[in-house]
Amino acid sequence: MAFKILIIACPHGKEAIVAGGIGCDERTGGVISIDLRGYSKIRPSLARLKSLRFLDLSSNNFDGVPVPAFVGSLENLRYLNLPIAKFRGAIPPNLENLSNLQYLDLPTPFQWLSTNNLGWISGLGSLKYLALDGVNLSMVSSTWISVLNGFLSLSGLHLSDCRLSCLISSPGLVNFTSLAALDLSFNSFDSEFPQWLLNVSSLVSVDMSFSGLYGRIPLGLGELPHLQILILSGNDNFSASCTQLGGIPSSIGSLCSLVNFDLSNNNLKSSLPEILQRGSETCYSQSSLPNLRYLRLNDNRLRGYLPSWMGQFKNLEELTLDYNLLEGPSPSSLGTLKNLTVLDLGRNQLNGTLPVDLGQLSELDVLDVSFNHLSGTLSEEHFANLRKMKTLDLSSNSFTLNVSADWMPPFQVHSLGMGSCQIGPSFPAWLRHENEINYLDFSNASISGPVPSWANYLIRCQQLLLRLLISALTFFQGPFPLPISEIRLLDLSNNQFLGGIPQNLSKYMPELGFLSLSSNRITGGLPESIGEMQWLQVINLANNNLSGSIPPSIGNCSSLEVLNLQNNSLSGLIAAPLGQLQGLQSLYLSNNKLSGDLPSSFKNLSSLETLDIGNNQLNGTIPAWMAEGFINLRILSLRSNAFSGEIPHELSSLSSLQVLDLAENNLTGNIPSSFGDLKAMVEGQARIEYLFYRNYGGTYYQENCRVTMQSQSQLYTKTLSLVTSVDISGNNLGGEFPKEMTKLVGLLILNLSRNDIGGEIPESISSMSQLLSLDLSSNRLFGVIPQSMPSLSFLSYLNLSDNNFSRKIPYTQQMMTFPSSYYGNSGLCGAPLNVTCPADEPDKRETIEDSRGDDEFIDQWFYLSVGLGYAAGILVPIVVLHIKGSWANSYFDFIDRIARRWLPIGNRRAKLLRNRR
């Protein structure tokens, strides 16, 4: 809407609001304030209003035009408010003319506004409040803090998300004597906490969250007497100091005025400092932090018991301690926090029962104790007064729910998680009284039998954001329940539903975005109408008895990211229209009866990260266009088909490829030497990253992959991002073992068995230091087993059988743990085979008989070193891949300590014994 400014005569004798948010001076009649919020145009005629003191242009859509330069000519302006106005470009430097300006609010989204220096601010001598949130200040020099330090009256400074990256250096003499609010969040300072802030005693609010801070949280924070808000979340490199009990300074207990304390998403260790439990002489109170209302310590590494003295914070409204390492019982004193609205203790290691006192927290809106080790029986008393409860998550514990058949919960929850709780055996009748549910998880809840007819009413949701209604209703039987139209996410996996998928599925669920019916007993074909469901992002129908062909209409599901149809009985050709799914990231069609070639239309699947079409009847050659089309591919499995021809060397350009499985086909030719350039296998995978798509309130599709190792197929999910594997076994490949492949130093699994590969194993194979499994059996390899192979200390499986290797086996270190790996090589000799090597090849190993008597200590050290080598080589890789990273780190530290302690002693002792001889 356009707004045309008119120069009018304001009435004398009083201040007046004339029109369109215009204010007039009561003495002179001049226009002194204009409020143009909600208008879409600004007129240059505003520059004539020289008496203007107040100008508000917020909440407009100026469509990316620059901030009008004439604003700098309004020299009497004291208040300039420009947020959410969609200005773009450089801030006009002539704003420095506004020497009377006290309030400047100029935030912008997405760094639409920018400035190369803050010199123009020096002219704003009267400035009391400055907000440049979102303004691009990346080119501003590190002197910006000194420039702002000159404003003695500055009370509010907000520079959030400004791309500041320099050190927060000290401005020298601190002049911020009036500064009350400081917001430097969402920058990248890469700096310690600025110590000079501890001299700004006027501070009331400090927000330095997600600012790249490191080091310790300063002890002197307790000297800021007026501090009410302290937010330091999201600084991952904060750590404990050796002079502190933990990462949280005990001096925090002296902040008498503190209301909001947020240290979430950091690297804080140890337990809560005990000073927080004692009465504070400074605050003249029976407890420390008497005004605390919000305590957020989630996503850290806090250990120890949850202290009972948490109940002293009587004004506490929010307590979030989730994603830590807390253990022990939940203290009943939490039930005394009558003002508590949010209690989140999820993702810890708590045990014991849930205190019945929590049922008295009548203000509680969120209660989350999920993913702990809690147990016991939950009765109606546990929920007696939870009338305001909207989110209740008890999942992934071992609770048993014991309520009467006619129990009516006092709450109307929106989100209810009771996965892994004993709720059954029948569908809970009390659920029919919950009329506001939009998230329900009853997975592994020991419920069996049919879904009651009244349960369909659960799928009537009044809210727009419906996320999940039924998740993994364990052991439900009977026909597939057909919900009504509002549902957006449906997960009925891991049950015993029978029958077919309704042909009119799109009619009943037109807005469905997530569909998982995996691991049931569903039969029949896929309905053509599935192509009409434009919002579908995940389709998971794996592990059923589906038959027929894949309907081409799925190619119309333009939002689809995951299609999992593996482990069914689908047949026919792969529908070419699937190549239209340009957003598809994960495609599983393995273990079906599909035939024909891979459609050339697949070259358009540029977002594809996983392609698993193994165990079908597909034929033709492996298309070279995969390298050009699948630029983001991480997992490629064509296993157990009838592909023929040579392996395209172009596949080596797939820089993200970490799992390549071409086993059990009819491939011929040589292994491309360019495979040594597979970047993700050269560098290896060092971080565990959960691979999933579309997380809906804790329910998501998790990526998975089966990798064959030691002739056994193993399913990887949570550790999949660490797996690197090449399996080309069971083909007709010839040529030699490519020396270039030994450059894959990050490879864990290599299987070239059951081919016709000749030549020798390169001596450089020792550079593949991360190998866990190496299978070269049933080929035509010859020559000597490389003397460097015993250095592969992580190797837990080796098979060199049925080749033409000769001479002595290097049977030391790790090689001693694979006694059956050398059979079928007529030229090999020495242990563990019962073939004596020729006399002209002396055994260079020291025998045990030569080391008796004075060498008894060396014998003991030998066995100790073998034991440690076995543990490191066999157990550690399994530990690293299958348990928590913290356990693996502790294990390595233990091995290092043993080695450091005993190796020098063993070396000195052996040297003395040799000298005696």
* DSSP letter (8 states) at residue 49: -
Region 796-807 average pLDDT: 93
Question: What pLDDT shows up at residue 451?
Answer: 67
Please determine, for residue 478, whether its predicted confidence score (pLDDT) is greater than 70: no
Which helix (H) or strand (E) is 237 found in, with range? strand 237-238
Q: What is the pLDDT of residues 313-333, one digit of tens each?
A: 899 999 999 999 999 999 999
pLDDT for 175: 85
Which amino acid, one-letter code, is at 136?
N
| Residue 635: closest CA among 619, 614, 621, 615 | 614
Greatest mean pLDDT among 130-144, 428-442, 477-491 lies in 130-144
Q: Please give the residue that has the higher pLDDT: either 500 or 363.
A: 363
User: 88-140, pLDDT tens digit by residue?
Assistant: 889 999 999 999 999 999 888 777 889 988 889 989 989 999 999 999 998 88
DSSP string, 160-179: TTS---S-----SS---SS-
Helix (H, G, I), strand (E, B) or coil at 469: coil
DSSP symbol at 832: T
First-to-final CA distance of the chain: 102
Kindly state the average pLDDT of the residues 47-70: 83
Angle between helices 885-916 and 856-870 (to 10 degrees): 160
Residue predicted with more confidence, 531 or 172: 531
Confidence of residue 3 (pLDDT cuts 50, 70, 90): very low
Q: Does 630 have pLDDT greater than 70? A: yes
Of 176-180, 382-386, 812-816, the poorest mean pLDDT is in 812-816
Amino acid at 494: N
Alpha carbons 690 and 704: distance in angstroms, whole number: 10
List b or e across 694-709, with b for residues whose CB sees 16 or more CB atoms inside 10 angstroms: eebbbbbbebbbbbbb
- Residue 61 has what pLDDT? 76
The pLDDT value given to residue 453: 66
pLDDT at 9: 44
Say whether 32 sits in a helix, a strand or coil.
strand
Instruction: Work out the pLDDT band at 181, boundaries 50, 70, 90.
Output: very high
Comparing 157-161, 192-196, 541-545, 572-576, the range with the smallest average pLDDT is 192-196
Residue 673 is classified by DSSP as G
Q: What's residue 69's pLDDT?
A: 86
Most confident listed range (98-112, 197-211, 249-263)? 197-211
What average pLDDT does range 730-740 have in this prediction?
Answer: 94
pLDDT of residue 853: 42
pLDDT of residue 762: 93
Q: Is pLDDT at 39 greater than 80 in this prediction?
A: no
| pLDDT value for 691 | 52
Per-residue pLDDT, 767 = 92
Which of 479-493, 706-720, 748-762, 841-855 reaches the highest mean pLDDT?
A: 748-762
Q: 750 has which bridge partners? A: 726, 774
* Location of structure tokens 């139209």: 485
Taking the C-alpha atoms of 328, 332, 333 and 339 in order, what is their torsion angle to the nearest 10 degrees?
110
Instruction: Give the pLDDT score at 659.
Output: 93
Range with lowest mean pLDDT among 408-417, 512-521, 650-659: 512-521
Measuring CA to CA, how many Å separate 345 from each of 296, 300, 334, 695, 896?
A: 11, 12, 11, 21, 35
Whether 436 shows a pLDDT value over 90: the answer reads no
CA 762 to chain centre: 40
Domains with residue ranges and CATH for the chain: 14-140 (3.80.10.10), 619-829 (3.80.10.10)
Residue 892 has pLDDT above 60, yes or no: no
Q: Among 169-178, 229-238, 859-868, name the one with the lowest average pLDDT.
A: 859-868
**In degrees, to the nearest 5, what angle opens at C-alpha 515 toward C-alphas 511 and 521?**
140
Confidence at residue 247, expressed as pLDDT on a 0 to 100 scale? 65
3-state secondary structure of 888: helix
Which has the higher per-residue pLDDT, 201 or 141?
201
Check the CA dihedral 19-22-23-28 and report its sign: negative
Q: Is the pLDDT of residue 883 over 90?
A: no
Residue 880, amino acid: V
Specify the higher pLDDT residue, 848 or 224: 224
Residue 148 has pLDDT above 70, yes or no: yes
pTM above 0.75, yes or no: no
| % of residues, the chain, pLDDT over 70 | 80
Would you state the pLDDT for residue 689? Answer: 56
What's the token pair of residue 376?
Answer: 């016991």
Give how far the C-alpha of residue 844 lies from the chain's centroid of Cα atoms, to the nearest Å. Answer: 53
Q: Assess whether pLDDT exceeds 70 at residue 904.
A: no
What beta strand segments (E) does 356-432 contain? Answer: 366-368, 373-378, 391-393, 398-401, 415-417
Amino acid present at 37: R
Residue-level pLDDT at 598: 93
CA-nearest of 286, 251, 477, 370 to 697 is 370
Looking at residue 856, what DSSP letter applies?
H
Residue 775's H or E segment, with its range, is strand 773-775
> Of all helices (H) and strands (E), which one includes residue 808?
strand 804-808
**How confident is the model over 601-627, as a mean pLDDT?**
93
pLDDT band at 373 (very low <50, low <70, confident <90, very high): very high
Question: Token digits for 305?
Answer: 């018991």
CB crowding 575-603: b at 16 or more within 10 Å, else e: bebbbbbeebbbbbbbbbebeeebbebbb
pLDDT at 312: 86
> Six-digit token pair at 203?
């501070």
pLDDT for 586: 92
> Which DSSP symbol is given to 490?
E
Q: Which two tokens stand for residue 682?
A: 């050269």
Query: Sheet holding 827-829: strands in order across?
Result: 782-784, 804-808, 827-829
Q: For residue 915, what pLDDT is reported?
A: 37
Q: Which residues contact 305 (CB under 8 A, 6 or more apart)?
A: 271, 326, 327, 328, 329
Residue type, 808: K
Q: What is the mean pLDDT of residues 490-517?
A: 81
- Model confidence at 6, in pLDDT bands (50, 70, 90)? very low
Quickly state the pLDDT bin for 208 (edges 50, 70, 90): very high
DSSP letters for 88-134: -EEPPGGGGG-TT--EEE---GGG-EE-S--GGGGG-TT--EEE-TT
**Per-residue pLDDT at 360:** 94
DSSP per position, 707-748: EEETTEEEEESTTGGG--EEE--SS--BSB--GGGGG-TT--
The whole-angstrom separation of Cα 807 and Cα 784 is 6
Query: What's the mean per-residue pLDDT of the chain?
Result: 80
**Residue length of the chain:** 917
Confidence of residue 84 (pLDDT cuts 50, 70, 90): confident
